[in-house]
Amino acid sequence: MSSAPAATATAHVSVEAALQAFVESLAARGSAQTRQRYSRACSALVAGLDGKPLAEVRRHDIQRALARLHASGWGPRTLAVTLSAWRAWFRYLARVDASISTTIFTGIKAPRAPKRLPNALSEAEAVRLVASIDETDAVSTVDSGVTATRDQAMFEVLYGCGIRIGELIGLDVASVDLRAGEMRVFGKGRKERVVPLGAPARRALAAWLDERAKLPVKPSGGEPALFLGQRGDRIGPAVVRRALKARAAERGIASHVYPHRLRHSFASHVLQSSGDLRGVQELMGHASIASTQVYTHLDFQHLAKVYDQAHPRARKKPGSR
């Protein structure tokens, strides 16, 4: 006799229970941020169905729910993620309930988002942002001691390795090999890659690991988290964002600085220096080279500025219009 399926058929459970089972299924292959986004997206679909059972949902119901969200101000990128979450939920449901059809999504697309170039910092800004106190004449007015040591290590890793914020907070102590100068990172879909650690990142991590060893660590099972919050548990993304924003203000960087902007800066600066598109793809953990190619446009903008400033036929002559 076969065992019961992992999820109960939707005819016998509430929509809320079916959604909860789906979100829990994501734990093994997605980050906490992904689970939160998918949960919010699918909850929005449930609200738009007005109590209609999932087995009775048809293509026009999906279109109407998407249109409502668009009309309420949801942007194209958010809608694209939302539609992806709905598709994933229905694929999950269809595996345990034959009455659920995934074909209702055929031909449905989110509104096209305008293409935007990644917003990278200049090399000078990036270096000023992540420089340690020892490398600058600045005096920190934001924090000191253990927190400052932790933040310095986080900033060096974000810019020095180009990893995502979800990858940063997911790091464990065992992820770092200072002797080999490398770090094991789990990206989207729990795909593993190894990234090199530069000398500044190794120094900052070594200093943080020394401080971390003195801290009380909250037992949470599994490998111990590399970066800890004040209560001894794994740090959250909001703490990283606040710390980075405070550092940017302290260093006189007026534009908005956020963790993913350091990832953009890493890719842009490495590509400008090396010209190795495939290498940058590997470092970034991009599944498709097309995701990396967007940084070639930033590189072209940089080269265009160099041309305008240096080429004899590009420089304007005095008095010319």
- Which superfamily does CATH assign the domain made up of 123-309 to? Intergrase catalytic core (1.10.443.10)
Contact 247, 155 (CB under 8 A): yes
Catalytic residue among 260, 297, 305, 315: 260
Give catalytic status of residue 317 as yes or no: no
Place of tokens 């200049």: 122
Compute the average pLDDT of residues 7-24: 71
Give catalytic status of residue 188 as yes or no: yes
Give catalytic status of residue 260 as yes or no: yes
pLDDT band at 232 (very low <50, low <70, confident <90, very high): confident
Bridge partners for 185 per DSSP: 193
Taking CA atoms, 192 is separated from 13, 41, 88, 212, in Å, by: 36, 27, 22, 25
Does the pLDDT value for residue 5 go beyond 50? Answer: no
Compute the average pLDDT of residues 56-68: 91
Give catalytic status of residue 263 as yes or no: yes
Does the pLDDT value for residue 298 go beyond 90? Answer: no
Q: What is the domain class of 10-105 according to CATH?
A: mainly alpha
Does the pLDDT value for residue 306 go beyond 90? Answer: no
pTM of the model: 0.61
Give catalytic status of residue 269 as yes or no: no
pLDDT digits (tens, 9 = 90+) for 131-190: 987 776 555 555 568 999 999 999 999 999 999 999 999 999 999 999 999 999 998 878
Catalytic residue among 35, 87, 184, 188: 188
User: Helix (H, G, I), strand (E, B), or coil: what is residue 290?
Assistant: helix
User: Helix (H, G, I), strand (E, B), or coil: what is residue 228?
Assistant: strand
Catalytic residue among 70, 87, 184, 286: 286
Domain ranges of the chain: 10-105, 123-309
Catalytic residue among 37, 202, 261, 263: 263
pLDDT digits (tens, 9 = 90+) for 101-137: 899 999 898 877 666 667 889 899 999 999 987 776 5
pLDDT band at 70 (very low <50, low <70, confident <90, very high): confident
User: Helix (H, G, I), strand (E, B), or coil: what is residue 298?
Assistant: helix
Give catalytic status of residue 92 as yes or no: no
Q: What is the DSSP string of 161-203?
A: H---HHHHHT-BGGGEETTTTEEEEE-GGG-EEEEE--HHHHH
Contact 124, 302 (CB under 8 A): no
Catalytic residue among 164, 202, 234, 264: 164
pLDDT band at 280 (very low <50, low <70, confident <90, very high): confident
Catalytic residue among 38, 92, 159, 295: 295
